[in-house]
A and B are shown apart, each in its own frame.
Chain A
């Protein structure tokens, strides 16, 4: 490739950053555990659906419903005789997708509002923060339920609802960090070399709040997956999609509990817990790794 020298070195910078990041991150056992679990589910979400399909189980031509695990169908079948194991694998895709997409929305809104509010201060700040407070104090579950009910049960709507109900905390945290960063001399220096507000926010504030955004949104991802599960479980999910939440919903409403069909109920539940746990672990690990106070000592 015939890149200009600096572009080449920009690549080197990336590699160097990643390497030094990994050097510290890999010391963190919790973080490694979280990353391991997440990688497992990510691989499952990406490749799993190509390997399995939800077949309706027939044994000797008779449809067997709520059948306990067999050697062919590792996690048994549900009330329609569908393979639970395949459902868990296919559901991982949607659950992770919802988690990531909702997080992306929440992160974008939260970060933009936080930075703009903190950077401009005064009237803008007051206005945006009151707006944020509204989202912060509204109990999010009822709001989510109402919105999901109003908008109708589709995957897109679920993502949207979770995304716009979970950004307020991020906005608050980012705003307070912005307030301290904008007083730093390097922001003043940026102004002195002729940078405009937009440039300063993107090139000086954003990179310096980024660790915080990162550590914070990983937790939002956990909440988003949990929310999706909750919504689906409460029957606000998209019935055409196989998700862990939907599986739990059907398992519950079709009487898996009274039937004692643990193989139908436990696997999606455990998956949700594991994924949420992995995000939380990563979040804490990142917080420790990226926290400037903890890092300053190493330098």
Chain B
């Protein structure tokens, strides 16, 4: 297989603007007595991006930056507290129950842990047939079987008939993740949120899953929001990469642009610690101090300034604007 660049088109499938998810913070009993105003976990705090048909957009960032929450909010698996999600011209956030159910046939999700995301007491067949059943998509048993077999085959599980009656624990890790993919594919979605789909898998089987996902995009034009914390993986599979920090996107651009010429100091630091398969000196890296701060106390000004090696006076009080720095390359920093 050659490079995974997809020519892309301007056929916009999803447009997200100002997406916000704020949770009520879980405060202890005592502290809730002392302070009246309950604090908010601003897990996603104003995110804008769009997704085109047949595109793979990677959402990368450290743990706790709000990647998963963003993905789930688009599918309304968690309720956004603000903003807009336009899917194919319609605002998802205004869908009622029945329209939402229909929407979920078009937009699917694959979870990180292929063991936990499959019901241990459901066989392979019922796992994949379930989406068809709850949406009343098949009129006959034969049709259902056909579609299940087709989805399993699409997900790279050859001999689907043979594994129909197996349970998830009777499959290997790679097969389990393929099963999860098949159960998303069976509804023929246009859009899939893939939340760290390979991070629990061994290196030797990762490539197969990634290749499958890219192949499905090539063949069926499925659009992915690919969530990962691994930038080298993001670069490998995606068309564009968005870097998230503390609930906001700080940089977005084509995969090559973000990795090869990062704009934002945070991206630069992340890129500098991407491992390369040879002995290098550790001196060339920018090691940020500490870990992602708590989304309850988001620093004022630029939210990255306490860890930023390039922070200046201005960064402390003034929030940088998220803007198009060069064509199709966005960033939010005062000094770019």
Contacts and interface: CB of A to CB of B under 8 A. Distances in A.
In their complex, do chains A and B touch, with some C-beta pair under 8 Å? yes
A139 interface: no
A186 B142 contact: no
Contact of B131 (A5, A13, A194, A196): A194
Interface in A1-56: 4-7, 9, 12-13, 16
Interface in A170-213: 184-186, 188-196, 199, 203-204, 207-208, 210
7 contacts: A4-B145, A6-B129, A186-B118, A189-B109, A190-B130, A193-B104, A194-B135
B333 interface: no
Contact of A193 (B116, B122, B134, B145): B134
Given A195-B130, A207-B119, A208-B119, A188 B77 contact: yes
A299 interface: yes
A178 to B, nearest CB: 14
A208 B167 CA distance: 14
Q: Would you list the 9 A-B pairs with minimal beta carbon distance, nearest first?
A: A193-B131, A4-B141, A185-B117, A194-B104, A207-B121, A194-B101, A186-B119, A185-B116, A195-B134
Contact of A6 (B77, B125, B134, B184): B125
Contacts of A9: 125, 164-165
Nearest to A296: B169
B113 A185 contact: yes
Interface of B: 75, 77, 101-102, 104-105, 108-109, 111, 113, 116-123, 125, 129-131, 134-135, 141-142, 144-145, 161, 164-165, 169, 180, 183-184, 187
Nearest to A208: B121
B105 to A, nearest CB: 7
Given A185-B116, A189-B117, A6 B144 contact: yes
Nearest to A199: B134
A63 B102 CA distance: 79
Contact of B117 (A12, A186, A208, A210): A186
Interface in A121-136: none
B165 A189 contact: no
A207 B122 CA distance: 9
Given A9-B125, A186-B119, A192 B75 contact: yes
A188 B111 contact: yes
Given A192-B75, A299-B169, A185 B142 contact: no
The range of chain A's interface size is 20 to 34
B141 A6 contact: yes
Contacts of B118: 186, 189
B111 A185 contact: yes
Given A6-B141, A204-B119, A208-B119, A192 B134 contact: no
A178 B328 CA distance: 47
Given A9-B125, A185-B111, A193 B141 contact: no
Contacts of B108: 192-193
Contacts of B119: 186, 190, 203-204, 207-208
B117 A5 contact: no
B130 A193 contact: yes
Nearest to A5: B145
Contacts of B120: 186, 208
Nearest to A20: B167
Contacts of A5: 145, 161
A194 B75 CA distance: 11
Contacts of B164: 6, 9
A196 B101 CA distance: 9
Nearest to B132: A193
Given A194-B101, A196-B101, 4 more contacts: A4-B145, A190-B130, A192-B77, A208-B120
A193 B125 contact: no
A204 B120 CA distance: 9
A199 to B, nearest CB: 6
A195 to B, nearest CB: 5
A163 to B, nearest CB: 27
Q: Which one of A4, A5, A6, A189 has the greatest number of beta carbons of chain B within 10 Å?
A: A189
Contacts of A210: 121
B105 A189 contact: no
A158 B131 CA distance: 44
Contacts of A192: 75, 77, 104, 108-109
Contacts of B105: 194
